[in-house]
Structure 1
Amino acid sequence: MSSSGYELYKLSFEISPVILVNGIASQVPGQMLPIVALTQAADFTLGILNGDSVPTTLDKYFAHWKPLPGTTLISNQIGQFPFANQSIAANAIIVQPLNISLMMNVPVQTEGGYTAKLATMTVLQQALSAHNLSGGTYTIATPSQIYTNCLLALMRDVSGGESKQVQHTWQLDFIQPLITINQATQVYNSLMNKIAGGLPVSLTPSWSGVSATVGAALAGSTGGATLLPSAANLVAGLAGSE
């Protein structure tokens, strides 16, 4: 991989794999805000003022991200009852939401960096909370899949003892919901097409309808004479015997 290609890979999947959509990004052109704009907010501001505060290499950026094991591409729940055939079994599959977990590594890299870390993490927490409360979603870029319309479910400290620093590693759990507005519209249209195409639906059953159906079915099964009277004749005979 060329140097430029590797830098592009790191920028996409290690430095800013999370994009905030709508929510607090509603006023941004395109309504999309890369999370690096939050994690590097202090450096960008000082860089504009001083011209030399933005990190010169991606390795010196505040946060580095990595997808965690357990991220799902396909998640289905299978019906636990006997199936007549494979076609019915396939229709019994229930699609489940997808889970995406990212690890954000934020060690202090410079002398006196704890103050900047506290300020950056405070801004990040408040921005993500405001984004969630305003109905914003997330787009997550991983080397194997790009997940859209995701929701942030949890952000927690998972720091280990491999460093003398504390709270240097955070885990963010995202969920890609099962149904979006577009998917719900497609499901609704599919159902209406089935109904319009003759899907049998019985909403108002009646005795007359049942008796006629039973009598006709029995008559048809013998090719002519009826072995048993219809339900209507049976009810009438019982009433006359009283």
Structure 2
Amino acid sequence: MTTPAAATAYDLAFQVSPIILVGGIASNTLGGMLPIIALTGQIASFVQGAASSGSLSTDDFFARFVPVPGSTLVSQQVAQYPFANQTVAANATIQNPLAISLRMIAPVKDTAGYLTKTAIFTSLQSSLVAHNAAGGTYTIATPAYIYTNCLLLDITDVTGGGTKQQQIEYQWSFTQPLITQQQASAAYSSLMSKLTSGAQVTEPTTAGTSIWSNAQVAVGSAAQNAVQGIGQLSGVVNQYLSAPAL
């Protein structure tokens, strides 16, 4: 059974503030990270309300974020030339950057909202432009995966005709590029690296239980990385909640 505290933490991490600014304009903040709600002018009232009431409420925030279908977990490009055998075909791949998009839903909830909407969006836009210009990156938290070291590509108005309000839904598109030399080197599969360097290519070991042993190691490594990712997200949320009001 989900407790109210757990539900609120999940809501905060994945729907209210799943975007964390890293570096850039957040370089001088606690931990060098800044949650997106800090740019909408609501973080102070949220922390003060939590301190006075002893509970957290995420119902009255400016916007909510929902992952857009089409985000990628794995993206590879396969060579188009004829392959010598199945081993070559399975390994002749190059890793591509990952893509993630979120839809920001920010309807006006009362009369005062119409007066503050322009000011909030203007402040948000100028802050993001400054963050990008300063070389800042983004961490995107989704229920399935935590994308780190992302770059913001664009924010596009995608408001449909099902509402009388205008400009209340925006799509945020991010990419997770290969930004380190190690990641760039790992973009080539082991076989592609051998072909490029002219090294000898040998057949993989398939006898006995070697395949299942390798699979077990891979699954264990993936599970460990997932646990570490959840721990990093928890640290970000806890750090943000414990920060003094701005």
Match of 2:17 in 1: 16
Structure 1 residues 77-131: Cα deviation after superposition (integer angstroms, max 9, x where no partner): 1111211122222331121111100000111112221121111111110111101
Match of 1:124 in 2: 124
Q: Please state how far the C-alpha of 1:198 moved relative to its aligned partner.
A: 9.2
Partners of 1:181 and 1:116 lie apart in 2 by 44
Instruction: Give the conservation status (yes or no) of the 8 Å contact 2:71–2:99.
Output: yes
Match of 2:244 in 1: none
Change (3 A) 1:139 1:46: closer
Is it true that 1:30 corresponds to 2:31 in the alignment?
Answer: yes
Change (3 A) 1:19 1:44: same
Partners of 2:64 and 2:84 lie apart in 1 by 51
- Map 1:1-242; keep pairs closer than 5 Å: 1-39=2-40, 41=41, 44=44, 57-184=57-184, 199=199
Partners of 1:43 and 1:8 lie apart in 2 by 15
Q: Please state how far the C-alpha of 1:150 moved relative to its aligned partner.
A: 0.3
Instruction: Give the conservation status (yes or no) of the 8 Å contact 1:95–1:178.
Output: no
Partners of 1:17 and 1:43 lie apart in 2 by 14
Q: Which runs of 5+ in 1 are unaligned?
A: 201-242
Residue correspondences, number: 192
Partners of 1:135 and 1:158 lie apart in 2 by 27
Q: Please state how far the C-alpha of 1:180 moved relative to its aligned partner.
A: 2.4
Structure 1 residues 128-157: Cα deviation after superposition (integer angstroms, max 9, x where no partner): 110111110000000000000100001010
Q: Which runs of 5+ in 2 are unaligned?
A: 201-246
Change (3 A) 1:47 1:80: closer
Partners of 2:110 and 2:162 lie apart in 1 by 19
TM-score of the superposition, structure 1-length normalised?
Answer: 0.70
Structure with more contact order per residue of length (Cα contacts < 8 Å, sep ≥ 6): 2
Partners of 1:131 and 1:150 lie apart in 2 by 13
Structure whose CA Rg is larger: 1
Instruction: Give the conservation status (yes or no) of the 8 Å contact 1:42–1:120.
Output: no
Instruction: Give the conservation status (yes or no) of the 8 Å contact 2:94–2:187.
Output: no
3-state SS of 2:59 partner: helix
Q: Please state how far the C-alpha of 1:183 moved relative to its aligned partner.
A: 2.1
Match of 1:238 in 2: none
Instruction: Give the conservation status (yes or no) of the 8 Å contact 1:14–1:64.
Output: yes
Q: Given residue 68 of structure 1, which amino acid in structure 2 is its aligned partner?
A: V
Structure 1 residues 152-194: Cα deviation after superposition (integer angstroms, max 9, x where no partner): 0010100011111100100000001034244247689x9xx98
Q: Given residue 183 of structure 2, which amino acid in structure 1 is its aligned partner?
A: Q
Q: Percent identity?
A: 51
Partners of 1:152 and 1:170 lie apart in 2 by 13
